[in-house]
Structure 1
Amino acid sequence: MPSPESVQQTGRDAPPRLEVQNLIRRFDAQAVVDDVSFRIPSGQVTCLLGPSGCGKSTTLRIIAGVDMQDSGQIYVDGRLVCDTVFRVPPERRAIGLMFQDFALFPHLSVAENVAFGLHGTRAEKRARVADLLERVHLEDHIDSYPHALSGGEQQRVALARALAPNPRILLMDEPFSGLDERLRDGIRDETLALLKEEGTAVLLVTHEPHEAMRMADQILLMRAGKIVQRGAPYNLYNAPVDRAAAAFFSDVNILRTRVRGALCDTPFGQFLMPGQPDDTEVEIVIRPQHLKIDFDRNGRGPNPTPQDGTAARACVERARFMGRESLIEYRMDFDGSVLKVTVPNVFLPNPGTPMWLTIRRDRCFVFPAKD
């Protein structure tokens, strides 16, 4: 186990900027953080993603030093900063914090907020403040006060203040949730660009999959205190570990079926289930965008009825335009189940309209059935 002394390594052998080992935190004998371990190298944005109450904010508070774990260790650049005996004070961990409510001082100007906690000469502090405000495009507001700024501008001041001391690690707890939805994507992109310029290791806590996908190099998906899956956004989206992981990132359709002779029947024909015992109940999970309307079989081509068993007949239950796409709900002739399909742009067939649907089998996920 590494000692509290700094590990002096560089290059490929350098330790991660932040390492969390086997972190456990209990409240009333219940583990709200349950054996959590991960690493974040310098310059990487890692996202703790999960529903409210899953333990992600508690993990963040322990790393920041404002809460104490029951077991486990935390290292910064290979140096132990906290276990259950040894503890570096929060202000000496070289860790910056950015909160949901920005926590700006209302009686201080923008420049004074950014400079708060900086060390060095007056000229050094002034230069650092001016540089950061220019990079967040707020140089014209250097003498303004927080109440005179928009929500997006306050968020950028909070970011500049968090980065001013050159922290090795920046912890961000739902930092964009207070912003108008129309502003969020632009502010996220600006924030990500600045963080990459600084080379800061970032741990971002959020419950929004879209935010995690947009910002993170690595996502740690949490549930009930545990990390249930980790990896790049693409991998979590396209190779979920279970049904709940798939459903966290988007709506999903569930086809429940049983295995018979290594095959199972679905509205879209038989699926091969090698290695599954007979009578095993499974769930085939598919996202709405991976169900397709077979227009050739709906009067626009030579085959108005299916010949290969891979298309399924359904009737429109409801159709809604969602802005960038249309969402159509279909009731399947096969078993009466309702499946959702998304179609780009405007497509609003009348309720009761019969149609044929096909499925992208390479985009289906198969999991053991859950009660």
Structure 2
Amino acid sequence: MNTSAQPLHTETAPRLEIRNIHCSFDDRPVVDNVSLTVQAGQVTCLLGPSGCGKSTTLRIIAGVEMQDAGEIYVDGKLICDTVYRVPPERREIGLMFQDFALFPHLSVADNVAFGLKGTRAEKRARVTELLEKVSLSQYIDEFPHQLSGGEQQRVALARALAPRPRIMLMDEPFSGLDNRLRDGIRDETLSLLKDEDTAVLLVTHEPEEAMRMADQIALMRGGRIIQQGAPYNVYTNPVDRAAVAFFSDVNVVKGTVQGALVDTPFGQFLTPGHPDGTEVEIVFRPQHVRIDFDRNGSGPLPTPTHGVAARATVERARFLGHESLVEFRMEFDGSIQKVTVPSVFLPEAGRVMWLTVPRRHCFVFPK
């Protein structure tokens, strides 16, 4: 066995580190050269569409699946490569899933105590401590079927935390909850995990959940991590058009580079690094478009920050509760561009208006 792998310096080692993990099913790469680190007390989200390799990565870390290549370290110590493997039950890793997986024939107390070591009194003390933290101490002798979905989720959290795992792996644990409960349960869960100084790796396909919960986001696509960083940086500095579109709707205007510039109906855009003749896409989000009223057939004057106003006609407008969505048909090419306004704004269909796009909110990518 390859037990002689050099440990990292533990005083600086992350709680969890995976290096160059690769896994294929039927010769099809599912996890492709994935590397990431998670510090103690940190929440990292693996974010991406269904089928991109997120859950398989989690199962490899937990020891349920074996990788074809790569290494996994906990606190600087190797726990798994393609030869040496610490069994799943000795990895000090907790697991939480969407279906809670509570034992229906066991009480809440016995569910939380399942897998705990120690005397009966020590187990009871730990169970009582955790149920108090998740505000369920009054249900200690109840059974899972007597609890709501949110209460069952908190029992599952208490059970996962009971052995004091150094790492918590969470696979879409809140997706089974209705929207009314989800935000509160998520916040309570994060608070408790941070109190326990647990490193958390959370899998989700919901960008809003990742932005709300994560200290770091690892955006996955096709088995690879295509971008990592703090939520703000991943959102505001996307690597490509698909990364922008994963977090929100997008508008796209196309053009061809000439002299490091591209001409569009919204004015010129700088295109550094793209040679002449390159076809590019100017990508921007609906919430960043500015709307101006028509002034006898004219729009606002051009500015360096907002460029040139483009004429458009309202196609339809809808109020979505927290914002209004207005769809415009552009005069220059007949395309539909979407604009969101954080208030009630419902112009009638057919009305002529002018749109401008702040340059600082635009991204230029090769077509």
Q: TM-score of the superposition, structure 1-length normalised? A: 0.94
User: Displacement of 1:100 after TM fit?
Assistant: 1.1
Name the amino acid aligned to 2:104: P
* Equivalent position to 2:338, from 320, 340, 346: 340
Residue of 157, 160, 163 corresponding to 1:162: 160
Q: Provide the rounded CA distance (Å) in 2 between the counterparts of 1:27 and 1:323.
A: 44
Q: Does residue 9 in structure 1 map to residue 10 in structure 2?
A: yes
Following superposition, the deviation at residue 324 of structure 1 comes to 0.1
Q: Indicate which of 91, 100, 103 corresponds to 2:101.
A: 103
1:8 is displaced (CA, Å) by 6.8
Matches within 5 A, 1:1-371: 3=4, 9-10=10-11, 13=12, 15-295=13-293, 297=294, 304-308=298-302, 310-369=308-367
1:270 positional shift: 1.5
The one-letter code matched in structure 2 to 1:35 is: N
Question: How many angstroms apart in 2 are the aligned matches of 1:2 and 1:278?
Answer: 55
Q: Which runs of 5+ in 2 are unaligned?
A: none
| Structure 1: gaps spanning 5 or more residues | none
Deviation at 1:274, TM superposition (A): 3.4
| 1:21/1:73 contact within 8 Å kept | yes
Between the aligned partners of 1:298 and 1:101, the Cα distance in structure 2 is 58
Deviation string for 1:140-167 (max 9, x for gaps)? Answer: 1111111011111110000010000000
1:261: how far off?
A: 2.7
Cα-to-partner distance string for 1:130-149 (whole Å, 9 max, x where unaligned):
11111111111111111011
Q: 1:148 to 1:335 in 2, by over 3 A?
A: same
Change (3 A) 1:128 1:253: same
C-alpha RMSD over aligned residues: 1.7
User: Displacement of 1:2 after TM fit?
Assistant: 8.6
Task: Kindly provide the amino acid, as one letter, of the partner of residue 136 in structure 1.
Answer: V
CA offset at residue 311 of structure 1? 1.1
Query: How far is the alpha carbon of 1:9 from its aligned partner?
Result: 3.2
Q: 2: CA distance between counterparts of 1:58 and 1:92?
A: 20
Secondary structure at the residue paired with 1:294? strand
CA distance in 2, matches of 1:6, 1:109: 42
CA contact (8 A) 2:271 2:364 kept: no
What's the % identity of the aligned pairs?
72
Amino acid at match of 2:33: D
Structure 1 pair 274–23 and aligned structure 2 pair: CA distance change class (3 A): closer
Letter in 2 for 1:9: T
Residues 181 and 3 from structure 1, CA distance in 2 versus in 1: closer, same or farther, beyond 3 angstroms? Answer: farther
**Residue 314 of structure 1 contacts residue 333 of structure 1 at CA under 8 Å; is this kept in 2?**
yes
1:40-74 deviation line (CA, Å, top 9, x unaligned): 11111011110000001001001100111111111
Alpha-carbon distance in structure 2 between the residues aligned to 1:165 and 1:8 = 26
* 1:295-331 C-alpha deviation (Å, 9 max, x unpaired): 4x558xxx95333261111000111111100000001
Change (3 A) 1:306 1:57: same
- 1 CA distance for matches of 2:231 and 2:272? 29
Check conservation: 1:99, 1:174, Cα contact below 8 A. Answer: yes
